[in-house]
């Protein structure tokens, strides 16, 4: 079931998506980073199993309809996002860029890439 987000979360979604795109662009070759789009994110309302309060989970899917990312807003106001990249590091062949993640709250946002050793 697709859910409409409250207006205050919509601004956070745009901020998180922008941060994910910026970080992905830093760790992929020029022009090779995927476009992480708000329009491709479909939200459903979920219930936090810890306190039974509502939250929202959004899913990104690729062209083959496979899950390639998610953005969850928890009932306590925190969020966590991840988006799969699967690209070789643009300058260091020892590394493979697996995904970009973001987490925080309305007043804070952290973002980073996760890398795994590359195949040599």
Tens-level pLDDT at each residue, the chain (120 residues):
566 888 889 999 999 999 999 999 988 877 777 889 999 999 999 998 788 999 999 999 998 999 999 999 999 999 999 999 988 888 888 888 899 999 999 899 999 999 999 776
How are beta strands 79-88 and 54-61 bridged, if at all? unpaired
Domain hosting residue 93, numbered range: 7-117
Whether the model pTM is above 0.75: yes
Would 2 be classed as within a structural domain?
A: no
Please report the pLDDT score of residue 120 as a whole number. 62
41 with 58: CB under 8 angstroms? yes
Would 1 be classed as within a structural domain?
A: no
Among residues 59, 57, 21, the alpha carbon closest in space to that of 40 is found at 59
Into how many domains does the chain fold? Answer: 1
Would 34 be classed as within a structural domain?
A: yes
Please report the pLDDT score of residue 91 as a whole number. 85
Would 59 be classed as within a structural domain?
A: yes
57 with 69: CB under 8 angstroms? no
């Amino acid at each position: 079931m697709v859910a409409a987000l409250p207006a205050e979360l919509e601004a956070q979604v745009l901020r998180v998506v922008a941060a994910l795109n910026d970080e992905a662009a830093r760790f992929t070759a020029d022009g090779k980073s995927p476009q992480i789009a708000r329009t491709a994110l479909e939200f459903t309302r979920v219930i936090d199993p810890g306190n039974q309060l509502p939250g929202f989970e959004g899913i990104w899917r690729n062209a083959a309809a496979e899950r390639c990312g998610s953005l969850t807003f928890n009932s306590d106001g925190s969020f966590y996002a991840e988006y799969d990249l699967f690209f070789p590091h643009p300058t260091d062949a020892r590394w493979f860029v697996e995904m970009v993640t973001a987490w925080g709250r309305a007043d804070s946002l952290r973002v980073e890439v996760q890398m795994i050793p590359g195949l040599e």
